[in-house]
Structure formats: C-alpha cells, structure tokens
C-alpha cells in the first residue's frame, strides 16, 4: 500500500494560519484569478489534484481538517472512503456520505487496518496527521506546492521528527502564477 501527501504550503512552511484560515491561498475563497494567464485557460487551476485523486482509494485526515472541510458547507469527497482520525468525535456530520468513518489509533494501527481492508493508495491530509504518519515511516510520497507568500506564523507542515527523513526529488514544476510544485519520494 502506498501513502501520499498532496498539500500547499507558504514559502515559509505553513499550511494554514494559526486559526486554520487558508486566506493566503489563491482560490481558497472560491475565486481563482486567471487574468494573468494570456489565454485565460484554467490548465493550471488544480495543479494536478484531480489526476492525483483518481489514484486514491482512501483519504485519511485529522479532526481539524475534517472540521475545516465541513465548514465550507459541502463535502468534496462524495465517492471516496474517508477516515477521520479523532479520539473525541463519536459520529460524523449528517452532510457527509456513509463512506466517512471515524477511527482512532496510532498511524501504524490505522495503516495496517486499511491495508487489511484492501486499500491500495492513501491520501494523508492535515498537519498533525501528516506529521504523525511521516514520523512513523508510513509516507511514501510528498507532493508539495509552494505558494509565493510569507505569512510569518501559522500551522507548520513539518514538526519534530524522531529521525531524519531523506527525500529524492522526482519532479519539479513551476506555474505562471509563481507556484512551484515538487514531488518527492521518501527514502527509507
């Protein structure tokens, strides 16, 4: 089973403001400025996200990420199995489909449960969840899109690790809006 991260980050390494806001991310408020594109195409709009999601069969996210997604008023993962990691939630919202389940446990326990259930490719999302899975040696691939903005403080993508994690750059793309996307293989 493969586990991947696909996330945007500020140039100074934050995935959100301290309050969880993504207002620094163009398009986060539902508007995407395409005026800088000479032919007004949206070929850069999703930065490969839809293609990435086609290969995912289970999304694993933390409670904070789940609650942030819910705050938008719609559930974008209709056909995907989603595991929300939480020790405090006892049920999911009525706006989400029955493919959303709450589980608790260590990253290793969750990983092994999903593997035994036949999962092939996990998308791991949410700051603390990514950190815990990475520190447990369970992340295989990182796709990090850097947005050219400095916000000074916020929720960092990476935290304290028990050991160094060596990465191999597989691919690097830059976009006309200044975004830079790097895809890394996490080496053992």
Q: What is the pTM of this model?
A: 0.87
Overall number of domains in the chain: 1
Domain coverage including residue 144: 2-18+46-186
**pLDDT tier, 33 (very low <50, low <70, confident <90, very high otherwise):** very low
Question: 57 in a domain, yes or no?
Answer: yes
State yes or no: pLDDT of 40 exceeds 70.
Answer: no
Percent pLDDT > 90 in the chain is 68
The answer to whether 131 and 176 have CB atoms below 8 angstroms apart is no
Residue 5 tokens read as: 């991260």
Q: In what order do the strands lie in the sheet with 58-62?
A: 100-103, 81-85, 58-62, 121-125, 2-10, 141-147, 180-186, 167-174
Give yes or no for a contact between 50 and 74, defined as CB atoms under 8 angstroms apart: no
Over residues 103-161, the pLDDT tens digits come to 999 999 999 999 999 999 999 999 999 999 999 999 999 999 999 999 999 999 998 88
Over 70: is that where the pLDDT of 176 sits? yes
Q: Is residue 31, in this structure, part of any structural domain at all?
A: no
Asked if residue 29 is part of any domain, the answer here is no
In this prediction, residue 161 carries a pLDDT of 87
Is residue 35 very low, low, confident or very high in pLDDT (cuts 50, 70, 90)?
A: very low
Mean pLDDT along residues 45-49: 81
Q: Which is more confidently placed, 24 or 73?
A: 24
Going by pLDDT thresholds of 50, 70 and 90, the confidence category of residue 26 is: confident
Task: Evaluate whether 181 touches 172 at the Cβ level (below 8 Å).
Answer: yes
| Span 80-95, pLDDT tens digits | 999 999 999 988 888 8
Residue-averaged pLDDT of the chain: 88
Q: Does the residue 27 lie in any domain? A: no
Distances (CA, A) of 172 to 47, 62, 148: 12, 28, 15
CATH number of the CATH domain containing 118: 3.40.430.10
Q: Which residue has the higher pLDDT, 26 or 153?
A: 153
Q: Is residue 90 part of a domain?
A: yes
Angle at 22 between CA 37 and CA 107, to 5 degrees: 120
Residue 23 covered by a domain: no
Q: Report if residue 35 sits inside a domain.
A: no
């Amino acid at each position: 089973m493969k586990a991947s991260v696909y996330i945007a980050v500020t140039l100074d390494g934050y995935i959100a403001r301290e309050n969880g806001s993504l207002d620094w991310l163009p398009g986060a408020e539902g508007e995407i400025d395409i005026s800088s594109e000479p032919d007004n195409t949206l070929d850069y709009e999703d930065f490969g996200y839809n293609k990435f999601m086609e290969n995912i069969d289970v999304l694993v996210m933390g409670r904070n990420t789940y609650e942030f997604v819910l705050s938008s008023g719609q559930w974008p993962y209709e056909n995907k199995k989603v595991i929300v990691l939480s020790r405090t939630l006892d049920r999911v919202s009525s706006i989400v489909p029955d493919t959303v389940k709450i589980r608790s446990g260590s990253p290793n326990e969750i990983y092994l449960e999903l593997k035994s259930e036949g999962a092939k490719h996990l998308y791991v999302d949410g700051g603390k969840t990514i950190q815990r899975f990475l520190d447990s040696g369970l992340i295989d691939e990182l796709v990090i899109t850097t947005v050219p903005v400095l916000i000074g403080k916020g929720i960092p993508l990476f935290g304290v690790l028990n050991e160094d994690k060596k990465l191999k750059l597989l691919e690097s793309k830059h976009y006309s809006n200044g975004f830079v996307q790097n895809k890394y293989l996490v080496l053992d």
